[in-house]
Structure 1
Amino acid sequence: TIQSQHNGLFTTALQRLLETVNALRTTLQNQTSANGPQVALTSLLNVILYNFLEHYTIQSQIQDNENFERFKTIHMNVLKLLIEIRLHLAVINKQLTKSWLECSNDIKFNIFAVHHLIRTRLLDVRQIDMHISQLIDAGNNSALHFAVNFLRNCVIEQPCCSDSDIASTLDSLHRISLIGKQPAEAVRDLLEIIRLNYTSLNDINENKVDKLAILSLSVINNGM
C-alpha cells in the first residue's frame, strides 16, 4: 500500500540518520584524526538536509501524518542536541545552506521543506535568493516556478522572510517579465501573489517604490 511504502521510506531515512549520528559520536570519542569530527559532522548535516528535501513533503504529511511528525521531530531533536553540545546555529546554517546549494535540482526545489528550514533559521535565505536569481537568469524553468512558489508560500501566505530578503530573485523576475518570456501559468500565479500581497497590506508607504509593485506593473503593461 501507499502508506506502507511511506513507512519504508521514513524508516530508511531514519536509519541513515542514526548511522551518521553514531559515526559522529564514535569519532568524537576516539579522536583518531584532527579533521574526523568535522567530516562526520558534515556528513550528518548533509543527511539531515537530504532527508528533509526527499521526504518532508505535503504528500507525506497527508498520507502518513503520524510518521511524518515523528520524522520531523527526530531530525529537529538531533539538531537541538548539536546546539546543546555547543555547536553554533550559524555553523549548522552555513553547512545546511552549502549542502542545499550543491544538491541536485531534482530535490532542491522542495518548497515545503525549504520553508520549514528557513523558518527555523536553518537555511540562509540571502544565499538562496542569489542562487535562484542566477538559475532564473540562466533560463532554468524549475527555478522560475520555485521562485513563484517561494513568493506565495514564504513571503505572502506563511511568511518566513520578507521581499527585501529576495531582492535578486525579484529583479530576475522583473527582467523576465519585461522581455515576455515568462510561462503563462507562472505569470498568473505571480500576479495572484502580487494581488494578495497588496490587498492584505494594512500600512502602505506611497513614496516607496516596491519591487513587487514594479513587477506587477511591468507584467500588466506587457499584456500578460
Structure 2
Amino acid sequence: MNNEQININELSSIQLDALKEIANIGAGNAATAFSQLLEQRIDMSVPEANILPLSEVPEILGGAETLIAGILVKVAGDAPGKILFALEEKSAEKLTNMLLDEKLELDLKSKTDQIQDSTLEEIGNILTNSYLNALSRMTDFSLLPSVPALAYDMAGAILEVTFLQAGHIGDYALVVETEFLDGDEGIQGHFFFIPTPESLQKILDKLGVGKI
C-alpha cells in the first residue's frame, strides 16, 4: 500500500483514465438497468471525465444561480465519500418524461409531484449503484450507499451544502458528464464523485495506478 496520499487534482492521465473506465462500466450497467425497467433500449455514454475544483463546478451547470435537481448519496464502507447526480431543469424534465412515458412539465421553482420526485430518486439510485458496483468489482471493496436524498435549489446552494461544508472531503471533484440517449435526442447530466483523500488513494492502489 502506498502510504502517501494523492490529491485528486494531481492525478495523472493514466489514473484519470482508470477512473473514467469505471464510470464507463457504471454507465453501461445503468443503461442495462434502465432498459430492463422500461422494457426498451436506453443507451448511455460518458463523453467527458475531468477533475475540477469545487469552486468551478457550478459553472458547468450553468452558473451558481441555475436551478437544478440534485440527488445526493453518501457512501460508507471501505472507500467513503459522496456522490451527487445533478440535472438542469430541462434535462430533469426530459429524463423523467422519458422514464414515465408522459409529457409533464417540471418547474423547480415550485413543488413537484411525488411521482416525479420518486422517479428522480430512482434515477439517482440506479446510477449510484451501477457506478459503485463497477467500482466494487474492480477493487473488491465493500461500498454502502445511503438512501438518495433529492433537492431542488440553485446549483451553488446545493453544492455548498453537499461538498463545501464537508472539509474532510477535499476541494476537488471527479466530474463525469453523463448522456442518456433517447432515439436521436441526448439528455445531459453530471455525476460528481468526491472520495476522501484516503479513499482515493486506496482505490488507485487497488487499480494498480497508485503512483503517478
From the CA coordinates, give the structure whose radius of gyration is larger: 1
Higher share in helix:
1
Higher share in strand:
2
TM superposition score normalised by structure 2: 0.23
TM superposition score normalised by structure 1: 0.22
